[in-house]
Structure 1
């Protein structure tokens, strides 16, 4: 498979051309996977099914194969992405599975914890090169986001992305997707977010639509801020707790007073309904 055939990149390029955003929804289990696929098919929207490394490590190849089957057999385009692969053992697991034919469409090789951009490049580049051999596109982060969630490494000392370094950074890593640091963070915002939209505008101008931009740190963001980021060049939007938390609440409540299948069905629909709202908000409904 070549990058011309890469599903993640094809989905994101069409979103860039169409001026809409793509929901990259984190899933933790089979129920949430089914909820995302249901929602995407009902809304006729492309989507990205996203796993954290802890989920990949827990479920291994069999669970990844389930996710790939559910996504790729859907009636709309759904790619499968590994988010925030920071630890070498998680990257090794993802790439070794890809080399055996159980491949993510894309992974994030996250070396943003490095002290310098040069170290970030040196850490990421070998993995990017190895991923390219099996057609897996790679996302990297320039700058550093603070915070942590759901098994991710806690990071402090945020660094905003310098757009002047972005083209060199992408060229030297060989990555295809850029995650910028614009004042966003992982987890809850302790004060209203102050996103530097000028960074996004600068990046969009420099890349001229050639490199998809990914927004991390979306917990509790107002709808208008999502839409502003899309207007300024964001095409991949990572979402986690918006759907996870009401899903878990519904499942726990349902299991206390309903038959197991009914509790699962109702909580799956709760997860799906959140995804459907984001398809509408991001403008991807009907774009599949």
Structure 2
């Protein structure tokens, strides 16, 4: 994943990252990636890893990624805990996001450096966040933009931590946008020009396609998608149960959920 992030930045090639709470979703994401011939990242939220079956989920996703017909990796997303980062690395994650964005700048810097030191022996990629991307990655809530990323501070942060990717705050949020998205395009361009590593944009589910294209043109290469997949998954589940409330055909249901995930993912992988 480290090499993929470097290549994505160098070649200005987008890399989609999709949160998978179930194996049905992961199968659909990989179906879409294989159909598009695109590399892909399967994201595991920190809340999902903390759940009782979290380690099993991550282990299963690693196995699926390894068997995919396209380059694929598993990344632990938005984790503020070094022990869970270590756990994810032990289970085979190819990348981790060390999220110290709730800390002050000095503490975030130190936390991220420790995460890089942990990941280095595994050859795993480390993503960090500077600024504050508001909202909840696991629950669809309306949010307003948080503190924006300063380009000069971002350059210094990357140099001092050695991360492979930086998630930036330019007006993007997790979940739903409380107001019409207004991204700071000049800030994104300045950050991408300064940084020697990949720039990641979170909260892309709520952004129109033209804004995603512009973000890519200005230098963002990793795009995280969560809310759109969850909405599609739950919506399809409700439709299936409404159509056949007495059915116990689990295989048919899981195939519908897999197809829905593939269709949703495919919209983000198309040029």
Specify if TM > 0.5: yes
Could you say which residue in structure 2 is the equivalent of 1:271? 261
Partner of 2:221: helix, strand, or coil?
A: strand
Aligned-residue CA RMSD (Å): 2.2
Could you say which residue in structure 1 is the equivalent of 2:132? 144
In 2: Cα distance, 1:12 partner to 1:237 partner: 11
Gaps of 5+ in 1: 1-7, 284-288
Could you say which residue in structure 1 is the equivalent of 2:21? 28
In 2: Cα distance, 1:239 partner to 1:109 partner: 18
In 2: Cα distance, 1:157 partner to 1:43 partner: 32
Task: Give the counterpart of 1:107 among 96, 118, 141.
Answer: 96
- Residues 164/81 of structure 1: CA separation in 2 closer, same or farther (3 Å cut): same
The 8 Å contact of residues 39 and 72 in structure 2, kept in 1 or not, is answered as: yes
In 2: Cα distance, 1:54 partner to 1:95 partner: 15
Could you say which residue in structure 1 is the equivalent of 2:57? 63
Matched, 1:225 2:211: yes
Matched, 1:135 2:123: yes
Instruction: Report Cα offsets for 1:47-76 as digits up to 9, x if no partner.
Output: 111010111122233221210110121110
In 1: Cα distance, 2:60 partner to 2:186 partner: 40
Q: TM-score, normalised by structure 1?
A: 0.86
Q: TM-score, normalised by structure 2?
A: 0.91
- Residues 165/94 of structure 1: CA separation in 2 closer, same or farther (3 Å cut): closer
Could you say which residue in structure 1 is the equivalent of 2:7? 14
Could you say which residue in structure 2 is the equivalent of 1:93? 84
Task: Give the counterpart of 1:247 among 217, 226, 233.
Answer: 233
- Residues 155/39 of structure 1: CA separation in 2 closer, same or farther (3 Å cut): closer
Task: Give the counterpart of 1:195 among 183, 191, 194.
Answer: 183
Gaps of 5+ in 2: none
Number of residues of Structure 1 aligned to a counterpart in Structure 2: 266
Partner of 2:176: helix, strand, or coil?
A: coil
In 2: Cα distance, 1:123 partner to 1:23 partner: 26
Partner of 1:146: helix, strand, or coil?
A: coil
Instruction: Report Cα offsets for 1:62-93 as digits up to 9, x if no partner.
Output: 2212101101211101111111002x2xx413
Shift of 1:107: 0.6
Shift of 1:133: 2.1
The 8 Å contact of residues 236 and 260 in structure 2, kept in 1 or not, is answered as: yes
In 2: Cα distance, 1:69 partner to 1:106 partner: 15
The 8 Å contact of residues 94 and 103 in structure 1, kept in 2 or not, is answered as: no
